[in-house]
Structure 1
């Protein structure tokens, strides 16, 4: 099975925070820290963990505060990119303590958080933004779903909010165990976290110029990656973001918004040569 339930050799650990994480056991000469998107979790990276480890990267995938198995505060504003970025910056500092370079990848909302971590001073040796954008989500079905879901979550709670997703999953050819995983993950997440991240997705400003300056001053390389059919931020907007950052841009074929689950081999083919050059 390709997806969050893909078998892998990583072990479940708790990092300082505490943050739930999957960490590969094989030692490497660099660390890859993977940050998931809205409603996501560390399991979203299950299909690429072993491949990254085999390529020489000790790989760490986390749940952000409030996601799935990581506890989080009750303050919705704590889930905006800037405060979450400070949390991730702390994780980078923890992982970098043994002297090995840390490469940071953020997917979707996790890309906005990873950007904030770098702006907060995270000592990264490379930054990858995957299917993320220069600013808030543009108008479209995903943004509309956030606006429609907020009042439901506030009035009726997380179980009612999940029911709308359950209707969507019911129409998809999906194993029962995967549907159960999605349900457990969603209802285990912090309602305040879901609301705060949704607010961030709708209101995050364009900080590309600040990020470009920071990367340039610290001589940190970057990469922008998108699935060729991304339906969140347009491919064109991500390509423009890469140009503004002075970073290479790469498309993952046969993938939309989540190449890590839709075409993990294609994603590794894009990431690993670049990451090896950084190392």
Structure 2
């Protein structure tokens, strides 16, 4: 779980429910800063056990560069509804169609960014239809399934969810430590969140309890079985960006380096960051993202 989530959006942002042809999605929408030339709109997709709050620390620095940012909770994540027990509702093609519906509702060409699991969903969306998007950024999201040690951790979580309530699993995770993909490197339980601010444990708990068990089960299966689709992606006429921290146990850096080469993508490694550079080093991450988007020329 992204324990570095900052739950309070910046003053200029607004939280609302984005209405789409596939239902409503909880969103935080932050405009470009006043007096700054608008440069584009970005759709941000969170990862496994995450939420739109994982991007809170990116909104203001990206607004200062002229980018409107829209972070969403996916189907079954935190404040977006979904079935409790029907895993088929969270199959990757369904989630990819949700992203296309979100893009249609926003009504403008978008830069698309997905973190971890969100990167694989973003990839699936552009493979269905790349037309709504100006670029694709894969943040700490690799070419195929997660590493074997992480698969083992996700299996432990899936096994726990099969016999325990969400509240019981939460209490167990606090005692034993969550899976790395759930509590990524650099996001382990500790005394503070970004910038040393206290972690809001109660809101983290609420986020966990309101995420749908079926979404977690389906997402865990996807992470452990995702095929390599880089060749399919590489033929699309989109600019690509592969961004990560300098350490990542979920997809080791050599895999991300190789994926960037195969995609002819910009490659950014954020020093001092691990699986969640958006939380570990938000200003450096925002600068790298905006620098990439500034270079794109697609309509």
TM (norm. structure 1) is: 0.91
1:35-74 equivalent positions in 2, closer than 5 A: 35-73=45-83, 74=85
**Cα deviation, residue 20, structure 1:** 0.3
2:129 counterpart of 1:121:
yes
Q: Residues 190-224 of structure 1, C-alpha deviation per residue, up to 9 Å, x if partnerless?
A: 011111101111111111111112x2xxx211110
Mind listing any 5+ residue stretches in structure 1 that lack a counterpart? Answer: none
Question: What is the aligned partner in structure 1 of residue 25 from structure 2?
Answer: 19
CA deviation after TM superposition for structure 1 residue 269, in Å: 2.0
* Alignment of 1:104 onto 2:126: no
Alignment of 1:236-255 (within 5 A): 236-255=254-273
- Aligned twin of 1:76: 87
Q: Give the C-alpha shift of residue 171 in structure 1.
A: 5.7
State the structure with bigger RCO (CA 8 A, min sep 6), 1 or 2.
2
RMSD: 2.0
* CA distance in 2: counterparts of 1:57 and 1:51, whole angstroms: 9
8 Å Cα contact 2:62/2:290 also seen in 1: yes
| Aligned mate of 1:164, from 158, 172, 194 | 172
User: Counterparts of 1:71 and 1:206 in 2: how far apart (Å)?
Assistant: 30
Task: Give a deviation string over 1:108-166, Cα, whole Å, max 9, x none.
Answer: 000000000101104101000000010111211x3222101112111122112212222
Do structure 1's residue 266 and structure 2's residue 288 form an aligned pair?
no
Residues of 1 paired with 2:118 and 2:6: CA distance? 16
Provide the secondary structure at the position in 2 that maps to 1:32: strand
Quick one: distance in 1 between partners of 2:52 and 2:249?
22
Question: Which residue in 1 is equivalent to 2:184?
Answer: none
Partner residue of 2:230 out of 199, 208, 218: 208
**Where does 1:82-231 land on structure 2 (aligned, <5 Å)?**
82-95=93-106, 97=107, 100-122=108-130, 123-140=132-149, 142-167=150-175, 168=177, 172-174=190-192, 178-213=200-235, 215=236, 219-231=237-249
Q: CA–CA distance in 1 between the matches of 2:288 and 2:201?
A: 29
Asked whether the 8 Å contact 2:110–2:134 carries over to 1, the reply is yes
How many residue pairs get aligned? The number is 271
Instruction: Give the Cα separation in 1 of the matches to 2:99 and 2:26.
Output: 12
Q: Distance in 2 between matches of 1:159 and 1:136?
A: 28
CA–CA separation in structure 1 for the residues paired with 2:92 and 2:248: 21
Partner of 1:5: 7
Mapped to 1, the partners of 2:87 and 2:266 lie a distance apart of 34
> How far did residue 5 of structure 1 move?
3.3
SS in 1 for 2:244: strand
- Give, in angstroms, the shift of residue 7 of structure 1: 5.0
Instruction: Say if 1:80 and 1:199, in contact at 8 Å, map to a contact too.
Output: no
Pairwise CA distance, 1:93: 2.0
